[in-house]
Amino acid sequence: MTIRVASAPVSWGIFEFEGIEPKYPYARVLDEIAGTGYTGIELGPYGYLPTDPAKLREELGKRGLQLLSAFVPVKLVDASAHEAGAGEALKVGKLLAALGAQYIVLADANGSVPELVKQAGQRKGSKLSADEWQVFAKGVDYVAERVFGEVGLKVTFHHHCAGYVETPEESRNLLERTNPDLVGLCLDTGHWHYAGGDAVQCIKDFGKRVNYLHFKDCSKEIAAKCRAEKKDYFEAVQAGVFCELGKGEVDFPGVVREVEKLGYDGWAIVEQDVMVADLDAPKRISQANRDYLKSIGL
């Protein structure tokens, strides 16, 4: 059993959300990811890294980085958006497959519904009706079937604060409604905790449906303050709810132990939502996160 450690452009503030311009050229981000000790990377927003397979292979190869996956948001609650969503996933998937990746990280169009943004980290129950759940799950299965059938990649679904699948209950609802052979769960440890769950318990509950890992921590104190002050999702991120690894409430050694029991042989992708003006902060935090993971044997 081997867990390899990767990073992602999001840790340099390169987000999939529209209207957020990258602060760094991709060469600097790749250099700093490799320089702080990571050997894998996610794609980031399509078009940030080179989309020509030969060029991207060259850029990653000279830094010793393996391309793993990409985060693809789709408005899954809207049946009319499923076809376009599958098209976007296939566009990204063709590039991923050309470089030996194995997964598409599929997600809801998180952060786009004001009510969900406002209630992130504070929700109970589900915002979807029975009919909406059927549409949502059908969309996930449809994208997964197209992606696997046409480019050979598996889908791992990313629960996410400020989306329709945020809480452990909502994640369970989705997994029960989707094809277990094609759809796994991308456990984002920080989002799972801010949504009221426990990452170790998630692995115990869902077993091998957890087929991909995003490592993010969650500050118990900042989370409580954000909930008390009714901060929305973006305000909570700005406040630092997703703190450096080892400084929050996620039991990372416990997470590692549980996936080891399952025979997990894959990657843990460190995601650090850095929203600060200091342009040197991402590299500094990336190194601190890597050092922490080394301290627990990764």
- Quick one: pLDDT band at residue 15, thresholds 50, 70, 90? confident
- Quick one: pLDDT band at residue 253, thresholds 50, 70, 90? very high
**Res 296 pLDDT > 90:** yes
Residue 235, CB-side half-sphere exposure with 13 Å CA sphere: 14
pLDDT value of position 20:
61
Average confidence (pLDDT) over 268-292: 90
The fraction of the chain above a pLDDT of 70, given in percent, is 97
Position with higher pLDDT, 71 vs 1: 71
Average confidence (pLDDT) over 187-215: 98
**Res 13 pLDDT > 90:** no
pLDDT value of position 18:
54
The fraction of the chain above a pLDDT of 90, given in percent, is 91
Total count of domains within the chain: 1
Which amino acid appears at position 32 of this protein? E
Note the pTM of the prediction, 2 decimals.
0.96
pLDDT value of position 23:
82
What CATH number does the domain containing 103 carry? 3.20.20.150
Residue-number span of the structural domain to which 88 is assigned: 3-295
pLDDT digit string, tens, across residues 65-102: 999 999 999 999 999 999 999 999 999 999 999 999 99
**Contact partners, residue 114, CB within 8 Å, separation at least 6:** none
Secondary-structure breakdown of the chain: helix, strand, coil percentages, each rounded to the nearest 5: 45, 15, 40
For tokens 């990204």, what's the residue? 92
**Contact partners, residue 248, CB within 8 Å, separation at least 6:** 190, 193, 217, 218, 219, 220, 242
Among residues 15, 76, 71, 69, the alpha carbon closest in space to that of 237 is found at 15
pLDDT value of position 17:
57
pLDDT value of position 203:
98
For helices 199-206 and 168-177, the axis angle rounded to 10 degrees is 20
